[in-house]
């Protein structure tokens, strides 16, 4: 294929077909809202449309239209460029694109995508648009060993010939069914040409549908060149029709992400037991054990080690920190930071706004929320720190909690540097424990304490000498 400069094509407007029923998902949720790598299938496609710089992105909705439109109206990655065109009833892919026509300016190239083909890549689409070059009909095709069910690419004389038609499987002759080159469902075409052809479609075929693929015949009849951009990457054109296909594509995509991280030097104990549902940025010598899930935006500094079975979302883990197995870190919007060389877990829980300095230790069954812990602070067992400011080298005993909520409002607890909080203490916020102070085990503290003081707030032990415990009655 001769090289045509990309600036020939002008603005790109994207139409995403998403009106189909998705019967084989057997789900109440519209198919395009099912999730791959933590995001709706359709959101993958709108995100890619945004990255290629689409001017308009029109989603054709039908089945579950209201739900799809509501789900996509915020955080779709496209912002104001996203528009919806309803297709009711659904009379085929040609009919679907017809519904978008009023929203498509004459001067653009229209890129047709499917809401259930989530992994189509930016570079592949750029190549397809370049093949259209503002004047041709460009089809994305691929060769399949088993082309059953797909539209076949019909060429004049064999494999290298000109494309003259796409014939749907149900309409194909035995000879045409032997063709292994299939239409992926994605095309790039100048808007003005597309509109003319759409107006000429009919539904005289095996399914009684208006086939978008019939525009190929019309282009050939009009003498407009039809070009095929053949891709070799089956993952990028894979469509989702069933839970099994969704799971298979998820694993294939996760493996690809795992391989990309390993190529950067990340050491994964098992690339088949790794899940990334967002972005993971890693510095050198990061080790990740089996069955970890990363969500949102996660950063792992140099030499960070993540133990088995951790779930980590929206967090920054600084160099040399170790996250022991079964730790749950959920940063949500506020984020979580784990400082350099900190030791977290096993079985620790860090919630939004946990900001841990260097060499902090958080042990098993310790929950930290919206709290700052300065360098060297330790809470090693069974504790809660919520809405707290914890100074350097503080030791926070087993079973101690900050009572941060009075039933209506949340209050802060301040624990200054070098404080030692014994076991099983309740710090009733708002309260400040002065620097270097000590809180005796079992104390409930609802008044601020002076620096250096020992504070004990518990009943004195009472002993009864030679106490006889009740005895079991002998059997009669
Ligand atoms: C279509 C192509 C076929 C291609 C295959 C690739 C046509 C006629 N055939 O087949 O050549 O090999 O995709 O997967 O285009 N949709 C609507 N409205 C409708 C019908 C479909 O929005 O009225 C949407 C679906 O939700 C889906 C996409 O269009 O996202 C493709 O529809 P689907 O039924 O999967 O296409 P096929 O008939 O399998
Ligand atoms: Ca169909």
Ligand 2: distance of its center to the CA of 4 in Å? 34
Distances (CA, A) of 114 to 96, 230, 241, 386: 11, 17, 12, 46
Do 12-237 and 267-455 fold alike per CATH?
Answer: no
Q: How confident is the model at residue 159, as a pLDDT?
A: 61
What's the CA gap between 59 and 219, in Å, rounded?
25
DSSP string, 313-329: EEEEE-TT-EE-TT-EE
Residue having the nearest C-alpha atom to atom 8 of ligand 1: 211
Ligand 2: distance of its center to the CA of 189 in Å? 21
Across the chain, what does the average pLDDT equal? 96
Residue having the nearest C-alpha atom to atom 34 of ligand 1: 20
Closest ligand, as measured to the CA of 114: 1
Atom of ligand 1 nearest to the CA of 21: 26
Whether 381 is catalytic is yes
Atom of ligand 1 nearest to the CA of 89: 23
Ligand 1: distance of its center to the CA of 36 in Å? 20
Q: What is the pTM of this model?
A: 0.93
Residue 287, number of CB atoms within 10 A of its CB: 16
Query: Which of the listed CATH numbers 3.90.550.10, 3.90.1150.10, 3.40.50.800, 3.20.20.210 matches domain 12-237?
Result: 3.90.550.10
Closest ligand, as measured to the CA of 151: 1
Reading the chain (476 residues) residue by residue, the pLDDT tens digits are: 334 444 567 899 999 999 999 999 999 999 999 999 999 999 999 999 999 999 999 999 999 999 999 999 876 677 778 999 999 999 999 999 999 999 999 999 999 999 999 999 999 999 999 999 999 999 999 999 999 999 999 999 756 789 999 999 999 999 999 999 999 999 999 999 999 999 999 999 999 999 999 999 999 999 999 999 999 999 999 999 999 999 999 999 999 999 999 999 999 999 999 999 999 999 999 999 999 999 999 999 999 999 999 999 999 999 999 999 999 999 999 999 999 999 999 999 999 999 999 999 999 999 999 999 999 999 999 999 999 999 999 999 999 999 999 999 999 999 999 999 999 999 999 999 999 999 999 999 999 999 999 999 999 999 999 999 999 999 88
Closest ligand, as measured to the CA of 98: 1
Atom of ligand 1 nearest to the CA of 212: 15
Give, as one character, the DSSP assignment of residue 334. Answer: T
CB under 6 Å to ligand 1: residues?
17-20, 60, 62, 87, 90-93, 95-96, 114-116, 150-151, 166, 168, 182-185, 211-213, 239
Instruction: Dump pLDDT digits (tens) for 194-232.
Output: 999 999 999 999 999 999 999 999 999 999 999 999 999
Residue having the nearest C-alpha atom to atom 3 of ligand 1: 151
Distances (CA, A) of 124 to 16, 129, 162, 375, 441: 16, 9, 21, 48, 64
- Residue of 44, 63, 169, 381 marked catalytic: 381
Query: What fold, for 267-455?
Result: UDP N-Acetylglucosamine Acyltransferase; domain 1 (2.160.10)
Ligand 1 mutation pick, 68, 93, 99, 241, max ligand atoms within 8 A of CB: 93
Domain ranges of the chain: 12-237, 267-455
Ligand 1 mutation pick, 143, 150, 185, max ligand atoms within 8 A of CB: 185
Residue having the nearest C-alpha atom to atom 19 of ligand 1: 92
Q: How confident is the model at residue 328, as a pLDDT?
A: 98
């Amino acid at each position: 294929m001769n090289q045509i400069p990309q600036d020939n094509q002008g603005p790109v407007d994207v139409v995403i077909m998403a009106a189909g029923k998705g019967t084989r998902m057997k789900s109440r949720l519209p198919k395009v809202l099912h999730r791959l790598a933590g995001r709706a299938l359709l959101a993958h496609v709108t995100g890619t449309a945004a990255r290629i710089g689409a001017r308009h992105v029109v989603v054709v909705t039908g089945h579950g239209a209201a739900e799809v439109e509501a789900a996509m109206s915020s955080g779709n990655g496209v912002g104001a460029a996203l528009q919806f065109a309803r297709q009711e009833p659904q009379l085929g892919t040609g009919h679907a694109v017809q519904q978008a026509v009023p929203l498509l300016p004459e001067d653009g190239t229209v890129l047709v995508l499917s809401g259930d083909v989530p992994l189509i890549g930016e570079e592949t689409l750029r190549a397809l648009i370049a093949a259209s070059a503002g004047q041709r009909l460009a089809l994305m095709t691929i060769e399949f060993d088993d082309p059953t069910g797909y539209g076949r690419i019909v060429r004049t004389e064999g494999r290298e010939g000109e494309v003259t038609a796409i014939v749907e499987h149900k309409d194909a002759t035995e000879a045409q069914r032997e063709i292994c080159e299939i239409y992926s469902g994605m095309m790039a075409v100048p808007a003005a040409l597309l509109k003319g052809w759409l107006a000429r479609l009919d539904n005289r075929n095996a399914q009684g549908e208006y086939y978008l693929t019939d525009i190929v015949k019309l282009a050939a009849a009009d003498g407009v060149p039809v070009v095929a951009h053949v891709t070799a990457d089956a993952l990028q054109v894979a469509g989702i029709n069933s839970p099994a296909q969704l799971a298979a594509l998820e694993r294939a995509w996760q493996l690809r992400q795992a391989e990309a991280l390993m190529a950067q030097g990340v050491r994964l104990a098992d690339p088949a037991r790794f899940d990334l549902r967002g972005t993971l940025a890693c510095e050198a010598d990061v080790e990740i054990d089996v069955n970890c899930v990363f969500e949102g935006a996660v950063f792992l500094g140099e030499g960070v080690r993540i133990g088995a079975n951790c779930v980590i979302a929206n967090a920054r883990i600084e160099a040399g920190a170790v996250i022991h197995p079964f730790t749950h870190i959920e940063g949500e919007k506020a984020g979580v930071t784990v400082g350099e060389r900190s030791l977290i877990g096993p079985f620790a829980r860090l919630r939004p706004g946990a900001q841990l300095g260097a060499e902090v230790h958080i042990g098993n069954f310790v929950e930290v929320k919206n709290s700052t812990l300065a360098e060297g602070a330790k809470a090693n067992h069974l504790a809660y720190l919520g809405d707290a400011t914890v100074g350097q080298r503080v030791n926070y005993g087993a079973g101690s909690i900050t009572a941060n909520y009075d039933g209506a409002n949340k209050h802060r607890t301040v624990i200054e540097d070098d404080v030692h909080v014994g076991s099983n203490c309740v710090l009733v916020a708002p309260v400040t424990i002065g620097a270097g102070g000590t809180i005796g085990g079992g104390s409930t503290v609802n008044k601020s304490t002076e620096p250096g003081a020992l504070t004990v707030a518990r009943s004195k032990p009472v002993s009864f000498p030679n106490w006889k415990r009740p005895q079991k009655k002998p059997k009669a």
